[in-house]
Amino acid sequence: MRRNAWTALAVGAALTVGAAASFAADHKISGSFLMGTGSATGNYYSFGSVLAQVINSHTGANITVSSTGGSVENVRLLKKGENEMALVQTDVNSYALNGVEQFASGAVTNFSAITACYPEMVQIVASKASGIKSVADMRGKRICVGAVGSGYEVAPRQILGIYGMNYDDIDERFLSQSEGKNALQDDQIDAFFMCSGYPNANVTELSLMGKIEVISIDDEHLKLLQEKYPFYAPFTTPDDQYNLGHPVTSVAVMSMLVVLNEISDDDVYAMTAAIYDHLDEIRALNKKGEYMSLEGAFRGIPGNIHPGAARFYEEKGLKVPGK
């Protein structure tokens, strides 16, 4: 009797898993979706295009990527319902949900996460001529902190704050990442902050000239930064693609794929399954896919996981944050 009961349970479990796999394979998405990414030459656009390609090919969805100003604009487009999907940084996700920083006028909560994607390292690049060896050396220097209102302009304020400084202590310049690179090259600034996947083409180009240093955040301030801003994770460069002769340690936020709450659970389940059942395809098409894994699906995400994605993860035996 007991043996029959256990057999029945095992068969039932197998049928459940089989049904889930069958659903993922059979469910077709008929809708069209616009995914906000970043500049047409940037990482978000290229990686978003790969995600769209893989999801479309395995679900029948019609996801189109659009070039945008990045994370902050993407959240605002989601709020207005002009995009159904987007790539955003985990720190911007936190600011939007809590109504702070760029969203101090009101929280944005009409979107949820599908998955974390790849780390975006806060990279602090200084000219060798500037004499800047650490963040503490930036006092009085000409520093590019990012474009006004951009997703990564907040990080310089947070990092400077941990070192006991603010914009009054530096000669701040509000420039985009490409403008910052050009300004450093032309000796118009001493250093710039940027938040980007590693390696970054602009930094690589500067490194080939042999005139830059990429600054590390020391262990003491790294710990303080993480304690105050838990969406940051430590990140040490895995190789020396900037030809510095040493690794660089900083912090990173994660890029994450998000979707409007109103998109059906079944559609989001199928999107999530398409990503993780075909991760090899994503990795073959874009190296940043190598950072993705089921175990890392929630890195930096506080708990706003879409119910459709949550169902997929729970079937894989993962504990979903916030549930």
List domains and CATH numbers for the chain: 2-118+255-315 (3.40.190.10), 120-253 (3.40.190.10)
Among 77, 4, 58, 67, which Cα is nearest to 39's? 67
What residues of the chain score a pLDDT lower than 50?
1-19
Among 133, 196, 136, 203, which Cα is nearest to 170's? 136
Looking at the whole model, is its pTM more than 0.85?
no
CB 312 within 8 A of CB 298: no
| pLDDT value of position 25 | 56
| pLDDT value of position 26 | 59
Taking the C-alpha atoms of residue 314 and residue 311, their distance in angstroms, rounded to an integer, is 5
| pLDDT value of position 13 | 40
| pLDDT value of position 323 | 79
User: Is residue 111 within a helix (H) or strand (E), and if so which, with residue range?
Assistant: strand 111-127
Task: Write the pLDDT tens digit of every residue in 280-308.
Answer: 999 999 999 999 999 999 998 988 999 99
| pLDDT value of position 15 | 41
Reduce the DSSP state of residue 138 to 3 states and report it: helix
